[in-house]
Amino acid sequence: MNYLEKAQQWKNFKGLDAKLKNELDHMSDDELKEAFTNDLEFGTGGLRGILGAGTNRMNIYIVEKATLGFGRYLLKQSKVAQSRGVAISHDNRHFSVEFARKSAEVLTSLGFRVFLFDSLRPTPELSYAVRNFNCIGGIMITASHNPKEYNGYKIYDETGCQLVPAMAEQVIDEINKIDDMFNIETGLNHELIYYIGKDVDEKYINDVKKIILRPNLKKDFKVVYTPLHGTGQVFAPDVLKSVGYNVLPLPCQMTNDPDFSGVKTSNPENKEAYDEAIALAKAWDADIVLATDPDADRLGIAVRHNGEFVLFTGNQTATLEVDYILRTRKEFNTLPKDGYIFTTNVSSTLPEIIAKKYGLKVEITLTGFKFIGEKAREMEQTGRGTYVFGFEESYGSLVSPMVRDKDSIQAILILCELAAYWREKGLDLVEALDKIYQEYGYFKEDITNVALAGLAGKAKIEKIMDYFRNNEIKLKGFNILAKDDVKLSVHTDNKGNKTEIKLPKSNVIKYYLNDDMWFVLRPSGTEPKLKIYYGVNGKSQEESDNKLQDLKKQVLDIFNSIE
């Protein structure tokens, strides 16, 4: 069925939502092609797309179809799937409440109990709820840090971990078996919906506080916090206040606003997301700015240094966390001999080097925190080691595997604690990070995001990946030691020797360079863009900066030469 036939099928449905019908009636041919040629695909963050009419858009029919497929998958996993039930939560976005409610109604019509949060909650608390109620699965309605035009749909297994590819493929198979997306039953057994709220909040917060390592540190500094209009507003400031931190929430962004009207961007990776918070921090003479993304699984920070606020990358934040946790646990003699740190193949290698210094093992996963959650689950089930910390470069980390997704509430607590620790030693976090660099080397990372939207963009991404996959490249001043083609599961060294890569197949290519340097090409799993990651190090900040600019220029020159 081509895009015009699919669009006509939607137009022929008499019960079509009025807003979607109006949108459909006013679409141009190009818009119809974009909306109906493809179907939304599960990526690193589940379903995520622009709101609107079409099979390649987020709307109530896509959500109902996905939920029916997920429910049928769960029924095959356990004879008691219905009685164990599914936990559901949502963020602040347009239609998030409706999508969550419809997901619940599809599942109750299949006979499932549903534990539905009474209002918006952070993604990590959804993971916690799955585990708390011993559910068979979970659903989080969110588009994370994407712009206001987006919404999304994450699904979780019985351990509170996002579905890894092997599981997601089974769900996709069930979804693809559904021929009629317009007549999915949603009207049965609504009495099976159990609304949850403060009771779970209190249990979750109490367990989060267990990660505190040094409760008696002086907390004599000021923190400005913003949820960027998202779910962190539910209790992030209160958690910090309850353990003694002086916190001022940013009023204009402490509102449940799906248009994100009080902030320039909802992504804490972007410096303009901090503009209003930093202005308040300067007026209040604060020391630290904390920003969580809309579903509060990721945390960004800015720190006052020499009168100005310095933004930290996700890699720098993780470096501080790893160093502090291992340093403290060694001091307290609580560092496990079989401890593991987990990270991804696009993240900084510096935390890995720190971990190995403390005798910990390090495992590398693909991008997507579900792979780290999978490792935590494996450890719990097999007892092969002890989870100590996990992180990825995109501002996500997990201290305690009490949940199985990245958790900004845990990150907020541990970062404020390590700030207090270094403050007692006379250092701010910029100076503390520099102290780490002086010991291990000046590691620096960066990312280039190349937006390539639509069908033409998708074809361009494939052409670029195929070029790097099939051609030998050369870089001046850098030695290419090896190359990983994760899609083909092949590691090739500079002598041509090939070995198998023990990772799930993914369209990712990584080049290993001399002196622990590297770069990676990876199409985004959640946005229409190609991401290029870089990692360098040197004996000084200036040397690292120069190497990074040189590497970026050479890689982008190759990229731009591909027609």
The partner residues of 492 in beta bridges, in order of sequence, read: 483, 498
Residues in the chain with pLDDT values less than 70: 43-45, 526
pLDDT (0 to 100) of residue 526: 67
pLDDT (0 to 100) of residue 522: 95
User: Which DSSP state fits 191?
Assistant: G
| 3-state DSSP assignment of residue 110 | coil
What is the number of other CB atoms lying within 10 angstroms of the CB of residue 520?
Answer: 21
Question: Long-range CB contacts (< 8 A, 24+ apart) of 271-277?
Answer: 271/311, 273/228, 273/300, 274/226, 274/300, 274/302, 274/309, 274/311, 276/226, 276/250, 276/252, 277/224, 277/225, 277/226, 277/250, 277/253, 277/302
Q: Which residues contact 560 (CB under 8 A, 6 or more apart)?
A: none
pLDDT (0 to 100) of residue 528: 78
pLDDT (0 to 100) of residue 45: 66
CA–CA dist 137, 162 (Å, integer): 9
pLDDT (0 to 100) of residue 135: 98
If phi > 0 it is left, if psi is from -120 to 50 it is alpha, else beta; for residue 364 that is: beta
pLDDT (0 to 100) of residue 44: 60
Query: For residue 307, with 0-12 CB atoms within 10 Å meaning exposed, 13-18 middle and 19 or more buried, which class applies?
Result: exposed
pLDDT (0 to 100) of residue 41: 82
pTM for the structure as a whole: 0.95
Which tens digit of pLDDT belongs to each residue from 454-484? 778 888 899 999 999 999 999 999 999 999 9
CA–CA dist 400, 411 (Å, integer): 10
Catalytic residue IDs: 144
- 220-225-229 Cα angle (round to 5): 170
pLDDT (0 to 100) of residue 43: 65
pLDDT (0 to 100) of residue 457: 85
> Is 348 within 8 Å of 445 (Cβ atoms)?
yes
> Is 309 within 8 Å of 303 (Cβ atoms)?
yes
CA–CA dist 297, 317 (Å, integer): 14
